[in-house]
Amino acid sequence: MKDSKNIHLDLNAIESMESRSRAHLINSLSGFKSANLLGTKAKDGSTNLSIISSAFHLGADPALMGFIIRPDVSPRHSLENMRETRLFTLNHVNEAIFKKSHQTSARYPRETSEFLACGLSEEYLDSFHAPFVSEANIKFGLEMLREIKIEENGVEFIIAKIVSIYYPQKSHIADGPIDLEVAQTVAVSGLDTYHLTKKLARLSYAKVGQELKNIP
Amino acid sequence: MKDSKNIHLDLNAIESMESRSRAHLINSLSGFKSANLLGTKAKDGSTNLSIISSAFHLGADPALMGFIIRPDVSPRHSLENMRETRLFTLNHVNEAIFKKSHQTSARYPRETSEFLACGLSEEYLDSFHAPFVSEANIKFGLEMLREIKIEENGVEFIIAKIVSIYYPQKSHIADGPIDLEVAQTVAVSGLDTYHLTKKLARLSYAKVGQELKNIP
């Protein structure tokens, strides 16, 4: 990038941007994001499915995940269901379903299930209350522990515990991680752009004074 | 994946895993993650640089980012500096510097600057207190607004406001987003695996009853 001029935006320039352009820009700034389908079922049996791109690793012991829900947009019905039942699923978006998954972000009415509207299939595994996405390769069940209102902008920060995990045997790596490329998981950038990935390297644990090695 | 057997782990199986394997597994579960270098400078002038993979979009108006710091591991000196000065930078890890960036996760002593130890260069832009990473293509300055202790596992959740943004002119897309592939930004999976990406598609805003279009 030595040959490229930089754009510089100071706080005033950021705050003066047209709001849709700013949403695109700021959504790009964190870097690549996860793409997960959030599956819920209300007590009355109606189901809901929403794509979220904010799920992130919160801790391994206990196994916790965090993510954000904006109460004013699509996943609000999901949040209502989670408050009712505490249980929900996350399902990795993969190459085969990224368009159907993106479509779940449309503002369907309360009584419409995005599973049906977007052509994805409910799957019930091991008596877990909430629906998994049959077409997802990596999926896990969670229990909502807590929600924290972020006063700065009114979004809800959700803390949840991972209680059940399903992933393809052939994506399992011997010492623990999942090979997300084998499972065809996609990454997201900004509000609307989906990517496959190509591994550069897996690197050894970093130690002071030791050179990093590639792990095959 | 129809031809692949699934692995199923229930809560008991998750809790019984060897801790390093569980860390690898649970770190893989959220999906692809962002890779950012967190740059700070203490009041005494000493600098610090730490790779983080939990930065996520928290809101566009105001422009907010969230991320996690584990006080028991590497970025603790960064957290001390942030508490002192409130100001810090985030810098996208790119293909040219992903190994040096990974090395910043080693447990260097307080008085060692990871910039120097890992071969990355401090850059001071427009009188901002904290150092940017010269080798990064996308970088932004932030002001820490608040930290929230996550009682479930003792990590700190940081909420920060984006106050200054730098990115290459040629990665700018007309309606707002940044083309992260042009900027050579990498994605991370698990604890240690780095990926380039290949765009599948940019999709139009999803609306009920309308077919999605590819945005060129």
Q: Give the model confidence (pLDDT) of B182-196 as tens digits.
A: 999 999 999 999 999
Task: Provide the β-strand partners of residue B37.
Answer: B51, B91
Mean pLDDT of chain B: 95
Query: How many angstroms separate the CA atoms of A95 and A115, rounded?
Result: 17
Asked whether the CA dihedral B201, B206, B209, B210 is positive or negative, the reply is negative
Q: Give the model's pLDDT for residue B33.
A: 98
- pLDDT per residue as tens digits for the range A91-145: 999 999 999 999 999 999 988 999 999 999 999 999 999 999 999 999 999 999 9
Q: Do the Cβ atoms of B66 and B56 come closer than 8 Å? A: yes
Residues in A touching B60 (Cβ below 8 Å): 19, 22-23, 25-27
DSSP letter for B97, please.
G
Instruction: For residues A31-51, give the mean pLDDT.
Output: 97
Residue window 111-150, chain B: list those with CB within 8 Å of chain A.
117, 125-126, 137-138, 140, 145-146, 148, 150
A10 with B126: Cβ contact below 8 A: yes
Q: Do the Cβ atoms of B63 and A14 come closer than 8 Å? A: yes
The structure's pTM equals 0.96
- pLDDT per residue as tens digits for the range B22-58: 999 999 999 999 999 999 999 999 999 999 999 999 9
Q: Give the model's pLDDT for residue B14.
A: 98
Identify the closest residue of chain B to A59 by CA–CA distance.
Answer: B153
Identify the closest residue of chain A to B64 by CA–CA distance.
Answer: A26
Q: Is B155 on the interface with A (CB under 8 A)?
A: yes
Residue window 177-196, chain B: list those with CB within 8 Å of chain A.
177-178, 180-181, 183-187, 189-196
Q: How far apart are the first and last CA of chain A?
A: 30
Percent of chain B with pLDDT over 70: 97
Of A10, A25, A192, which has the smallest distance from its Cβ to B164's Cβ? A10
Q: Give the model's pLDDT for residue B140.
A: 98
The pair of structure tokens assigned to B98 is 């992903």
Outline where DSSP puts E strands in chain B: 6-10, 33-34, 36-41, 47-52, 56-60, 63-69, 87-92, 122-123, 132-133, 139-150, 155-168, 187-189, 193-203, 214-215
User: By C-alpha distance, which of A70, A90, A71, A91 is closest to A160?
Assistant: A90
Query: How many angstroms separate the CA atoms of B14 and B184, rounded?
Result: 36
Residue window 13-32, chain A: list those with CB within 8 Å of chain B.
14-15, 17, 19-32
Q: Give the model's pLDDT for residue B112.
A: 92
B68 with A56: Cβ contact below 8 A: yes
Local structure of B200: helix, strand or coil:
strand
- pLDDT per residue as tens digits for the range A160-169: 999 999 999 9
The pair of structure tokens assigned to A198 is 């190509």
- Above 70 in pLDDT, residue A207? yes
User: By C-alpha distance, which of A212, A52, A123, A191 is closest to B203?
Assistant: A191
- B58 Cα to chain A: minimum distance (Å): 7
Interface ipTM: 0.96
Q: Is A96 on the interface with B (CB under 8 A)?
A: no
Residue window 64-83, chain A: list those with CB within 8 Å of chain B.
64-66, 68
What single-letter amino acid sits at A94?
A: N
Percent of chain B with pLDDT over 90: 93
Q: Give the model's pLDDT for residue A73.
A: 64
Task: Provide the β-strand partners of residue A147.
Answer: A158
Q: How many CB atoms lie within 10 A of CB B134?
A: 15
Query: How many angstroms separate the CA atoms of B95 and A108, rounded?
Result: 40
Residues in B touching A104 (Cβ below 8 Å): 206
User: By C-alpha distance, which of B190, B191, B212 is closest to B203?
Assistant: B212
The pair of structure tokens assigned to A199 is 């591994």
Q: Give the model's pLDDT for residue B2.
A: 61
Of B32, B190, B208, which has the smallest distance from its Cβ to A177's Cβ? B190
Which residue, among A17, A26, A169, would best test binding to B if mutated, counting the most B CBs under 10 Å from its CB? A26
B60 with A23: Cβ contact below 8 A: yes
Q: Give the model's pLDDT for residue B118.
A: 98
Residues in B touching A103 (Cβ below 8 Å): 206, 212
Residues in A touching B119 (Cβ below 8 Å): none
Residues in A touching B185 (Cβ below 8 Å): 31-32
User: By C-alpha distance, which of B27, B124, B181 is closest to A190?
Assistant: B181
A6 with B62: Cβ contact below 8 A: no
Residues in A touching B89 (Cβ below 8 Å): none
Q: Give the model's pLDDT for residue B1.
A: 66
Residues in B touching A167 (Cβ below 8 Å): 6-7
- A43 Cα to chain B: minimum distance (Å): 23
Q: Give the model's pLDDT for residue B75.
A: 67
User: By C-alpha distance, which of B152, B85, B81, B203 is closest to A66?
Assistant: B152
Residue window 36-55, chain A: list those with CB within 8 Å of chain B.
36, 53-55
Of the candidate ranges A114-118, B26-30, B77-81, B116-120, the one whose mean pLDDT is the lowest: B77-81
Instruction: For residues A34-59, give the mean pLDDT.
Output: 96
Q: DSSP characters for chain A? A: -TTSPEEEEEHHHHHHS-HHHHHHHHHHHT-SEE-EEEEEE-TTS-EEEEEES--EEEEETTEEEEEEE-TTSTTHHHHHHHHHH-EEEEEE-BGGGHHHHHHTTS---TT--HHHHHT--EE--TT-SSPEETT-SSEEEEEEEEEEEETTTTEEEEEEEEEEEEEEGGGB-TTS-B-TTTTTB-EEETTTEEEEEEEEEEEPPP-TT----EE-
Q: Specify the pairing of strand A139-150 against strand A193-203.
A: unpaired
